[in-house]
Amino acid sequence: MKIIAVNAGSSSLKFQLLDMPEERLIAQGLVERIGFDEAVFTIKFNGDKISSTQPVRNHKKAVELVVEGLIKQGIISTLEEIDGVGHRVVQGGELFKDSALIDDEVIEKIASLNDLAPLHNPANITGIVAFRKALPDVPQVAVFDTTFHQTMKEEAFLYSTPYEWYEKYGVRKYGFHGTSHQYVSERAAVLLDNPKAKVIVCHLGNGVSLCAVDGGKSVDTSMGLTPLEGIPMGTRSGNVDPSVLALVAKKENRTMHEVLEDLNKRSGYLGVSGFSNDSRDIVNAMNEGGERAGFAHRIQVKRIADYIGSYYVYMGGLDAICFTAGIGENAPQVRESILEAVKVLGVRIDHEANAKNGEHVISTKDSTVKAIVIPTNEEVMIAREVMRFE
Ligand code: AMP
């Protein structure tokens, strides 16, 4: 069966065409700069990469380009070959405890959550609407970043704020990167040969979140109402005392909303180092003696270690720490710093193994807690979800 996994942003649309259940990647691509005259459409298949530049006014046009491109390049011969489409949707709130077969009602429900994800959900809906127009007879499934975390208990997801905020506005922790945490933790359970395994998934990319998974269920995660909470990231601060907002707004005569933008876009690696949001730049500068790059790295490592310690206690033990996403999969020095910081838990790093990338164990044989690198695959997870509805 051929399934398309879609990730629609406000000005971009990424897709993969997968052969299921074999999970074989047939083609992938993206349309960038949607809404502009010089939008770029790129498609990769069979080792070829083809790019073209043209005006793409909206997502409908972007989807037409993708669908026509698949036929024009001979990747599929007719639209009937597409058996399903899976859409990444960032915020499912408490309305979606599972992925959902899309109909008008599901789209309305997703739109009712726009206040909780004002940048993401409207863009996701635009992608859904455009694909439904292009492929009206093909089942389409919404796969949410939040549903994997819907198994958290109240003590993990409620904030200690006036309870009416939760009842009236949905103020609580939702967590994100759910498809990635699910994919990696399921793979870890297979590698450990233990479906009841207690694992902590460290999704370390430009966005960073940790997830405590006990027997296949998310019991806690570091992101919150929005992806700002938790660990410092490429440009996000992670946790700060909310009073920072009022203080800086007063000192700089700005609104709290403007200062919040700084916490989202000008903090983390970028804010502390003063020059880059990219982990490679931070590690290189630190190795050459850059003091602030060193701070940026060490603040992040300490915060990750804090979360790992707390999840260890909350789960009452730990079988494995898993690393995934851009940094987790590719930055041995960051992995080493984190594992050194939590070695009291019984994890012993195998330095030779850690120097390599790709899926493999990076702890020694006598390590009581295993450390494993597991490349994430959110598109495969989305396609697997679509298959459940076929
Ligand atoms: P992601 O959001 O998962 O694409 O991850 C982006 C982050 O991964 C950036 O901070 C990159 O610096 C980092 N990253 C990507 N590739 C590498 C690499 N080969 N070595 C070290 N870091 C990398």
Mind listing the pLDDT tens digit for each residue in 214-241? 999 999 999 999 999 999 999 999 999 9
The residue to mutate among 282, 330, 376, 378, having the most atoms of ligand 1 within 8 angstroms of its beta carbon, is: 330
On whether the CB atoms of residues 110 and 124 are closer than 8 A, the answer is yes
Catalytic residue (choose from 19, 98, 103, 145): 145
Q: Looking at residue 102, what is its pLDDT?
A: 98
Q: What string of DSSP letters covers 293-315?
A: HHHHHHHHHHHHHHHHHHHHHHH
Q: Which two tokens stand for residue 83?
A: 């058996």
Residue among 206, 223, 287, 376 whose CB has most ligand 1 atoms within 8 A, to mutate: 206
> Do 148 and 115 touch, CB atoms closer than 8 A?
no
Q: Give per-residue pLDDT as tens, 60-113.
A: 999 999 999 999 999 999 999 999 999 999 999 999 999 999 999 999 999 999
What per-residue confidence (pLDDT) applies to 87? 98
Distance (Å) from CA 85 to ligand 1 centroid: 28
Which atom of ligand 1 is closest in space to residue 269's alpha carbon?
10
Q: Does the pLDDT of residue 390 top 90, yes or no?
A: no
Indicate which residue's Cα is closest to atom 8 of ligand 1: 326
Residue 15, pLDDT score:
98
Residue 119: pLDDT band with limits 50, 70, 90: confident
Question: Known catalytic residue: 145?
Answer: yes
CATH number of 2-144: 3.30.420.40
Length of the chain: 390
User: What CA–CA distance (Å, rounded) separates 325 from 342?
Assistant: 20
d(CA 60, CA 332): 42
**14: nearest Cα among 131, 118, 107:** 131
Query: Cα–Cα distance between 121 and 96 in angstroms, integer?
Result: 13
Per-residue model confidence as pLDDT tens digits over 322-349: 999 999 999 999 999 999 999 999 999 9
Domain chopping of the chain, boundaries = 2-144, 193-373
Distance 66 CA to ligand 1 centre (A): 27
Residue 119 has, within 13 A of its CA and on its CB side, a CA count of 7
Residues 18, 380: Cα–Cα separation, whole Å: 8
> Which residue has a Cα nearest atom 17 of ligand 1?
330
Q: Could you check whether the bond before residue 21 is cis, i.e. omega within 30 degrees of 0?
A: yes
Residue 372 · residue 323 · CB < 8 Å = yes
Residue 20 is encoded by which pair of tokens?
A: 């299921």
Where do we find the tokens 């999840």? 311
Residues lining ligand 1, Cβ inside 6 A: 205-206, 234, 278-280, 325-327, 330-331
**Residue 326 CA, ligand 1 centroid: distance in Å:** 4
In this structure, which residue's CA is closest to atom 19 in ligand 1?
330
141 bridge partner residues = 86, 101
Q: Which of 129, 136, 209 is nearest to 175 (CA)?
A: 209
Q: pLDDT tens digits for 4-14?
A: 999 999 899 99
pLDDT tens digits, 278-297:
999 999 999 999 999 999 99
193-373 maps to which CATH number?
A: 3.30.420.40
CA distance 380 to 24: 9
Output the pTM of the full model: 0.96
Taking the C-alpha atoms of residue 151 and residue 219, their distance in angstroms, rounded to an integer, is 6
- Span 301-310, average pLDDT: 98
Of 183, 147, 149, 89, residue with least CA distance to 376: 183
Query: What's the pLDDT at 357?
Result: 87
Does residue 383 register a pLDDT over 90? yes
Alpha-carbon distance 245 to 279, whole Å? 26
Q: Which of 233, 280, 287, 329 is the pocket-test mutation for ligand 1 (most atoms within 8 Å of CB)?
A: 280
Atom of ligand 1 nearest to the CA of 328: 8
Within a 10 A sphere around the Cβ of 308, how many other Cβ atoms?
23
Q: Using the mean position of ligand 1's atoms as its centre, give its distance from the Cα of residue 328 in Å.
A: 8
Distance (angstroms) between ligand 1 centre and the Cα of 381 equals: 21
Domains 2-144 and 193-373 in one fold: yes
Q: For the segment 145-194, what is each residue's pLDDT rounded down to a tens digit?
A: 999 999 999 999 999 999 999 999 999 999 999 999 999 999 999 999 99
